[in-house]
Amino acid sequence: MLELLLCSAITILPDFLYRRFVQGKRIGREITLFSVWYELRWGITFCVILTVSLITTIFYFHPATNNAVSVFRTVTILPETGGRVAETYVGINQHVTAGQPLFRLDTSAQEAAIETAKRRIAEVEAGMEVARAQLAEADGRITQARGSLKQATDEYETRAELIRRNPNAISQREVDRVRVAMETAQGAVDAALAAKAAAQSQIDFALPAQKASAEAALREAEVARDKALVVAGTDGVVQQFALRPGDVVNPMLRPAGILVPDRHVTGLVAGFGQIEAQVIKVGMVGEVACAAIPFTVVPVVITDVQDVIASGQIRPTDQLQDATSFARPGTITAIMEPLFEGGLDRLPQGSSCVANAYTSNHDALQDPEIGAFHAFVLHAIDATGLVHAALLRMQALILPVRTLVLSGGH
């Protein structure tokens, strides 16, 4: 309507003034309801052409969208393992800080595993004491076996010397018996040394490995017990938290609630039509008007433009995707941040806004080689942004009335 009024002011109005004051035609006589088209045909034709051209220019070079949202992230409150709730520490809409306990699951199974691991460690430590005693016993047996070996060796050497000097002094059988006793004593020494080595191996390798395994099992059980206590990962407000002791929580099927992190609105996600893909650029200045902060227009700047359209994405499945499944066109996603610091601080997270983006040809107009006609066109394109800015302010003015009065307050 505003574009039509502006165009009619320079087309239909001059045509009417010419008919009225130059040709002397009057409304109600020569200019009637039935002769308007014939009398004002030039003005009406130019008005329609100019209006369509102006609207096309405005909405193409200065795109607008009703899909601008202050998106925000939520954190699902979930334990790493399922279990029955033993105790809760917070309520709905309560503000929490990072590391603050939210709820605790029943840990009877983990406590039993911890106690079992501790008993196993104590058992291994007792085995180490027994092994040390066996090592001391092995040292004693070695000393005893070496004494027996020394005695048997002396007897054998004495009898061997006697039979060498006088073969008839003793019998060969007696010498053989003493030699067997010496070899038996040597075997006892070897057995005692082997027993000591086995006890030393138990102390140095087997029992420490068993103790390390038991300590690892203890740490594992303690970690499982600690995981039963669910804490806040960040500062925020707990929402939809209705857990009570006795409820069963499952990380796959039943979350405990939602944590909304503390964040100020630092930008908006806006979706522009695909036809404006060649116009939307990083650095474009724009404006937004939001229902949550009525009668306010906030200047913004586009800081990022997503180079893909979400509606065309596919994921690996067991079915081929048909082109008709992408019939719904997506939008060009752009990130808009306030041009001045704190511009959106009063905007609640998740609010919906109306956004405009304005094409600027200032840099192109600074080119000394630009032609006059080209410069005129670029100036005209930049000037039409004023119309869109006025439309946005009109929307900001009538938005409360339309929401509270014309829609019945819903």
Question: What mean pLDDT comes out for the span 159-173?
Answer: 71
Average pLDDT of the residues of the chain: 84
Within its chain, how far is the Cα of 83 from the centroid? 25
What is the pLDDT confidence band of residue 169, given thresholds at 50, 70 and 90?
A: low
Residue-wise pLDDT for 72-98, tens only, equals 888 888 888 888 899 999 988 889 999
Please report the pLDDT score of residue 244 as a whole number.
Answer: 87
Q: pTM of the full predicted structure?
A: 0.69
DSSP letters for 137-189: HHHHHHHHHHHHHHHHHHHHHHHHHHHHH-TTTS-HHHHHHHHHHHHHHHHHH
Residue-wise pLDDT for 177-189, tens only, equals 777 887 887 888 7
Topology match between the domains 57-72+265-311+329-409 and 75-106+229-261:
no
Residue-wise pLDDT for 219-262, tens only, equals 999 998 888 899 998 899 998 888 888 888 887 777 888 888 88
Please report the pLDDT score of residue 219 as a whole number.
Answer: 93
Specify the fold of 75-106+229-261.
OB fold (Dihydrolipoamide Acetyltransferase, E2P) (2.40.50)
Architecture of domain 57-72+265-311+329-409: Beta Barrel (2.40)
Please report the pLDDT score of residue 6 as a whole number.
Answer: 77
Domain boundaries, the chain: 57-72+265-311+329-409, 75-106+229-261, 108-224
Q: Is the CB of residue 358 less than 8 Å from the CB of residue 62?
A: yes
Q: Is the CB of residue 105 less than 8 Å from the CB of residue 83?
A: yes
Residue-wise pLDDT for 360-409, tens only, equals 888 888 888 888 888 888 888 888 888 888 888 888 888 888 888 777 55
| Half-sphere exposure at residue 227, Cβ-oriented, CA atoms within 13 angstroms | 15
